[in-house]
Structure 1
Amino acid sequence: MKKILLSIMCFCITTLSGCWDQVELPDLAIITAAAIDRLEDGKTRISVQIFIPRTITSGQTGEDPSSASTFVREGIGDNLANAISKLQLNVPRRLFWGQCKLFIFGDELAKNGIRKEIDFLARHPSPRGKSLLYVSKGEARDILTLIPPLERYSGEALRKVSQIENGMITTLKDVDMGLMGESESVSMPYIKKLSQNDKTRKSNQTIPVFEGTAVYKKDKMIGTLNMKETRGLLWLKDEVKRSTISVKPKGEDGKVTMTPTIGKMSFRPKIKENRWMMHLNIAIEGDIVQNETQLNLLNEDVLMKIQGEFEAALKKRVGQTVEKLQKDFKTDVIDFGRKFHQHYPKEWKKVQDHWEEKFPEVEVHITVNAKIRRPGYIGPPAALPRDEVKE
């Protein structure tokens, strides 16, 4: 019996296949970020930032500071698939997309439509659904060639800025689902090269930063929101991470600034007598981080007044963003359509084919409830004589 089992095992071992298609790490070109541009002749250019493992300087410890961390290669074709095929011809190693966390579209491509590019990225097995998408001011390739002072390459700098900054975070999955959703609209972070004022550095020794938000109707970029309007959009999407709100109380020369620590947005769609209404309720709690006025924030009456000022300021900020989306862009990137569809499926069927005409007619009612949790360790303004404090 043992001989029979041993014979079977030996036979099975000879039939097992090995990793015949395995590619060793030294044979891979690891892509960290990609930029896609539309050229004047209508062709597509794909530029990739390829990571270079740094070598150890002989006789020393640590990395060689003179060696670059990445280099940029590109391919040009009739479409993205063809351009990537041409790109592979310019790289001696097999392209590896598993670590590509960023895709940047040039604004010229974004204005002409990105549906074909999104289709390729969504179908291709290598790009991840959580990859971050951006639109650049000018050509996207320029972002990849930047040399950041603190990070090893511009792709890593952009990723970290996205994590800590107040700009939008949009993934490949978000865009794919958004273009197939009720509104067929999406938004992406709009980035640019930070101006370099230090004459001792070259113009490309800087980092990419947020300029605002690119707004898409279907798959074409139709305009941008500035940073102030982007803050309002972040509240509407319930995605505020870090922010400050400053108000100038009536009768005061200075401002009071609060940092929200807790924020929650709720939506309540309502249809009554053929009137489509959306009720937005924003609840925020925050701390006072600066008081430029002469007001004593430990006074309860003063604190209630300041809370009212914050409520009015946030209501105005969000209202301006909603108005621009409804009146100027006529684009529902805040998913009003999906919320009406969920609550009123029968009524939605009547307007879904012309939602871009119905969306601007939706009455938006905004309610804000603000609460100051901590006015700071001191109530009166710092270094202000006691007799000048307004109670």
Structure 2
Amino acid sequence: MQLGRIVKVLSWVFLVIPFLTGCWDRLEIEERAVVLAIAIDEVKPEAAKEERDVSHLSGEVPQSQKRMLRLTVQIAVPGRIPLGPAQGGGASGEKPVWILDVVGHTVEDAIYNLQQEVADRLFLGHLRVIVVNEKVARKGLQNMNDAFRRNPEIRRAAWMVISKGEAADIIKLNPELERVPALYLLTVLDGAVKQGKMPNAFLGVFWSALTSKGQEAYLPYVEIQEQKSILLAGLAYFRGDKMVGTTTPLEIGHFMAMKGINPGGYSALSDVPGESGAVLFISSDRTAKIEVEIKNGLPHAKVKVHIEGDLAEKSNAQFNLKDPKTIAKIEKRIGTKAGKAFEELIHKTQKQGSDILGIGEIVRGKHSAYWNQSIKTMDKWQETYKEIPVRAEVTISIRRVGMKAE
């Protein structure tokens, strides 16, 4: 009987011991170098002189990796990150981030070189923004995608953006509304999504499109305005992992309308047939559908879009907005102009073989027999997309004309 009690006690002891070990592998936040943002620029091969023998010996780099990249990182300084809009986490005037830059032949090569300069272990779990120079993106992001996708610390909800100028300048910017440049850029992007000015094109969405056979990827395209603010200059669209073109800011709204992404955040200034003056229409809600038919061995696509919105302003006009006929004329005029603008954007992407609308995925899903017989691969669809007829059909519904309608 006593032996049985001893066995029970020992069993409970061995059962409880694992829960008493604590965080044996803990790493305090003060012992981590928390990276908030990364900028990637291309530099001349001569920059290899700046590199030390950290991940390889001098002169022993494979010929295919002679390309040099400059990695600029923004590291949070413990105790100095602002805690709210009206207060700071550290002493006034102290910089909340530490900015360092290194060179390397690949992204991971540069990160290893950076770790050699930083005492604490680099931690990418709080990485929010990756800024890539346009020149680098046009040559291909295969190396960057491979490095970041293999790293378990990288969040799929982080943003990757393409910069018109030097990527390092974006994360070195000193904005008036935010002490931390990375958080300012993050606020710009998240705010644009909420206001309907940018699709939610974070890293996970980008990588998913890259692996698709019938759809190409896109990323936000940004540039600095007078060293004070960041402009959402459009979308950078890709063919495979290489950037091949950009849209204008207004064409972001065209793309979102054709994809049915809400809310609507863009406006259209339009004339009114038979009347003097103009009106400003602001979209609020969109619905869209892409229909595909196979005719004469080639897909024919129709993009049907319905947009609801309000009239925000009429300028230099005497016509009556209470008249249903006038409203109908405005709706038809805006719909016709929008349809032409949508088709222009589609034709622009067709020239580069960049199907960012995902028409190929619709063909692949609804006409699988045609796809398996005539397309089969992404490369084939990229060439086929250039040739297919695509029409845009847009209808407009004006819901409100404002309090002053006489």
Alpha-carbon distance between aligned partners in 1 of 2:18 and 2:217, rounded to the nearest angstrom: 51
State the alpha-carbon separation in 2 of the partners of residues 75 and 136 from structure 1.
19
How far residue 258 of structure 1 moved from its aligned partner, in angstroms, is 1.5
Aligned partner of 2:382 among 337, 356, 370 = 356
- 1:307 corresponds to 2:331: yes
Q: Give the direction of change, closer, same or farther, for the CA distance of 1:75–1:20 in structure 2 (3 Å limit).
A: farther
Q: Residue in 2 aligned with 1:135?
A: 162
Report the CA distance shift for 1:15/1:174 in structure 2 as closer, same or farther (over 3 A): closer
Hey, what does 1:369 align to over in structure 2? Answer: 395
TM-score (norm 2): 0.84
How big is the shift at 1:271? Answer: 0.8
Residue 363 of structure 1, CA deviation: 1.4
Structure 2 partner of 1:226? 248
- Aligned-pair distance for 1:310? 1.6
Shift of 1:65: 2.7
Q: Is 1:33 matched up with 2:37?
A: yes
CA distance in 2: counterparts of 1:127 and 1:162, whole angstroms:
18
Alpha-carbon separation, structure 1, partners of 2:191 and 2:15: 54
Distance 1:3 1:171, change over 3 A: same
Give aligned-pair identity as a percent. Answer: 25
Deviates more, 1:164-173 or 1:263-272: 164-173
**Cα distance in structure 1, aligned partners of 2:93 and 2:242:** 42
For residues 237-259 of structure 1, the C-alpha deviation after alignment (integer angstroms, 9 at most, x for no partner) is 33354111221113444321121
The one-letter code matched in structure 2 to 1:227 is P
Q: 1:240 to 1:7 in 2, by over 3 A?
A: closer
Gaps of 5+ in 2: 46-66, 82-86
- Cα deviation, residue 15, structure 1: 6.4
Q: Give the total of aligned pairs.
A: 366
| Partners of 2:178 and 2:184 within 8 A in 1 | yes
Does 1:9 find its partner at 2:31?
Answer: no
Equivalent position SS for 2:162: strand
Which moves more between the two structures, 225-234 or 11-20?
11-20
* TM-superposed deviation, 1:286: 0.8
Deviation at 1:185, TM superposition (A): 2.5
Please, what TM-score do these two structures have when normalized by structure 1?
0.87
Structure 1 gaps of 5+ residues are 196-202, 381-391
> How big is the shift at 1:231?
2.4
Is 1:287 aligned to residue 310 of structure 2?
yes
Distance in 2 (alpha carbons) for counterparts of 1:96 and 1:66: 26
| Structure-2 change in CA distance of 1:10 and 1:258 (3 Å) | same
Counterparts of 1:256-267 in structure 2, within 5 Å, are 256-267=279-290
Secondary structure at the aligned position of 2:319 is classed as: coil
Moved over 6 A (4+): none
| Counterpart residue type for residue 365 of structure 1 | R
- Choose the corresponding residue for 1:50, options 75, 80, 86: 75
CA contact (8 A) 2:215 2:360 kept: no
Counterpart-to-counterpart distance in 2, 1:352 and 1:111: 26
Return closer, same or farther for 1:207/1:2 CA change in 2, 3 Å cut-off.
farther
Deviations 1:213-270 (A, max 9, x none): 2121111112222223332222223335411122111344432112111111111111
Deviation per residue, 1:94-120 (Å, 9 max, x gap): 222111121111112111110111011
Q: What's the CA shift for 1:129?
A: 1.1
Q: Partners of 2:266 and 2:360 in 1: how far apart?
A: 27
Q: Which amino acid is 1:302 matched to?
A: T
- What secondary structure sits across from 2:217 in the alignment? strand
Query: Which one is further off, 44-53 or 308-317?
Result: 44-53
Question: 1 CA distance for matches of 2:262 and 2:341?
Answer: 13
* 1:7 to 1:351, Cα distance in 2 relative to 1, 3 A: closer
What corresponds to 2:28 in structure 1?
A: 24
The 1:369/1:14 distance shift into structure 2, 3 A limit, reads closer
Query: Does the 8 A contact of 1:287 with 1:373 survive in 2?
Result: yes
- CA gap 1:120/1:323 in 2 versus in 1, 3 angstroms: same
Q: CA deviation at 1:55?
A: 5.3
- State the one-letter code of the partner of 1:325: T
> Counterpart of 1:159?
186
Question: How big is the alpha-carbon RMSD for the aligned residues of Structure 1 and Structure 2?
Answer: 2.1
User: Which position in structure 2 is the counterpart of 1:321?
Assistant: 345
Q: Is the 8 A contact 2:214 2:364 kept in 1?
A: no
C-alpha separation in 2, matches of 1:94 and 1:39: 26
DSSP-derived class of the 1:361 partner: coil
1:237 and 2:259 correspond: yes
Q: Distance in 1 between matches of 2:231 and 2:92?
A: 25
Separation of aligned partners in 1, 2:134 and 2:218: 13
CA distance in 1, matches of 2:215, 2:298: 23
Looking at structure 2, the residues matched to 157 and 252 of structure 1 have their Cα atoms a distance apart, in angstroms, of 44
Letter in 2 for 1:274: G
Secondary structure class of the residue paired with 1:104: strand
Give, as a single letter, the amino acid of the residue that structure 2 aligns with 1:219.
D
Distance 1:112 1:135, change over 3 A: same
Distance 1:275 1:169 in 2: 32
CA contact (8 A) 2:267 2:281 kept: yes
Which amino acid letter does the alignment assign opposite residue 264 of structure 1? T
Determine the C-alpha separation between the residues in 1 that align with 2:210 and 2:185: 25
CA distance in 1, matches of 2:348, 2:208: 23
